[in-house]
Structure formats: C-alpha cells, structure tokens
Amino acid sequence: MATETTAAQHVEPLALEEAGMCVDANGGAIGMPQLCFDWFPNQMFWLAVTLVVIFLVLSRVALPRIAAILAERQGTITNDIAAAEDLKAKAVEAEAAYNQALADARTEAQVIVAKAKADIQAELDVAIQKADAEIAAKSAESEKAIAEIRAGALDSVKAVATDTAAELVSVLGGSVDAKAVDAAVASRLKG
C-alpha cells in the first residue's frame, strides 16, 4: 500500500481529482474512498436507497412469507397439541375400560371357579354316596359269605366230628349208633 501511495503522489493532484480519487491536503491520494468526506453525500444517498430497497423487499416479500410460515407452524403445533390431548383422553378412557374389563373378568372367573367347585363337590358327594353304597353292598355280601362260610364250616366240623366220633367208637370196639353220635356231637358243639 505504501508503494501505491508513493506512486499516486508522483501524479498531479489535479489529475487525481479528475480521475475521481480523493486527494488530501498534500496532494496525495487517500487509500480508502469511504473515508473521503467529498463522497459522503453520495455514499449517504446510496446507503439510504439500499436501506429502503432492503426494507421494501423484507416487508413485502420475506417478512410476509416468514409470518405465514410461523402462523402455519403455530397452527400445526396447536392442532398437534389438541390431537395429543384427544389421544390422551382416549387413552385414559381405554385404560378405564381395560381396568373395568379386567375387574369384570376377575369377577366372572371367580364365579366360574365357585361354580366349578360346587359342581365338583356335588359330583364328589354323588361319587362318595355311590362308593358308600357299593361298600355297604360288598360288606353285606361279605358278611353273607362269611355267614355262609361259618355255616358251612360248622356243618363241616359237625360232619367231621360225627365221622371221627363214629370211627373212634368203632376202633374202641363199640357199636356205632349214628343217632347217639349225632346227639353227642350236637350237644358238644352247643357248649
């Protein structure tokens, strides 16, 4: 930059001004045109024009689009929040319905279990009564069989005793009277 300033100082200050460059008091060129006070009114005009154009573009084009997008987003957020609240209310209702159905199912299960227990107990009572009847019948049959066996045993004992007594009497050399032997065996068996 120092070389440019030095080169610009060799040129006449009038030629520099005609070329549109700002010249300082010594006739040298100023390095930055923005700092030339001669150009400030021109720069201020273009600054104002640029700001007005930017303002118009922003206010007429960009800001309405941004506002529309923000309004659309706000509407979407509001709708989503409303939908979420509806879904939450439905979820609460569904949970209440589920809990009620679960309680009803438990109650129904308890009723079914109680009914099944009652049915099983009734069947068990019938089966026990049937088994008791069968046991009583078999017991009666057994007692009858035992009585028959006793009666048969007594008859067998009586027959064996009669035969044995008759044989003993005949071996001992006596005459065997069948009626006397039967009477003797019968009196002995009685007691």
- Residue 28 within any structural domain of the chain: no
pLDDT in tens, 34-48: 777 777 888 899 999
pLDDT at 118: 94
In angstroms, rounded to a whole number, what is the distance separating the alpha carbons of residues 30 and 43?
A: 16
Phi, psi of 23 (to 5 degrees): -115, 135
Q: Is the pLDDT of residue 131 over 60?
A: yes
Residue 11 within a domain: no
Q: How many domains, in total, are found in the chain? A: 1
Please state the separation of Cα 178 from the chain's center in Å.
97
SS3 32: coil
Burial tier of 106 (Cβ tally within 10 Å: 0-12, 13-18, 19+)? exposed
pLDDT attached to residue 107: 95
For 186, half-sphere exposure in the C-beta direction (CA atoms, 13 angstrom radius) is 6
Residue 67 has pLDDT above 90, yes or no: yes
- 64 lies in a domain? yes
Q: Take residue 185 and report the two structure tokens written for it.
A: 């065996």
Task: Please give the residue range of the domain that contains residue 82.
Answer: 44-149
Eight-class DSSP state of 20: T
Question: Would you say residue 13 lies in a domain?
Answer: no
In a domain, 188, yes or no: no
Q: How many CB atoms lie within 10 A of CB 185?
A: 20
Identity at 95, one-letter amino acid code = E
pTM: 0.39
Answer yes or no: are the C-beta atoms of 38 and 22 closer than 8 Å: yes
Please check the confidence at residue 157 and state whether its pLDDT lies above 90: no
Per-residue pLDDT tens for 70-103? 999 999 999 999 999 999 999 999 999 999 999 9
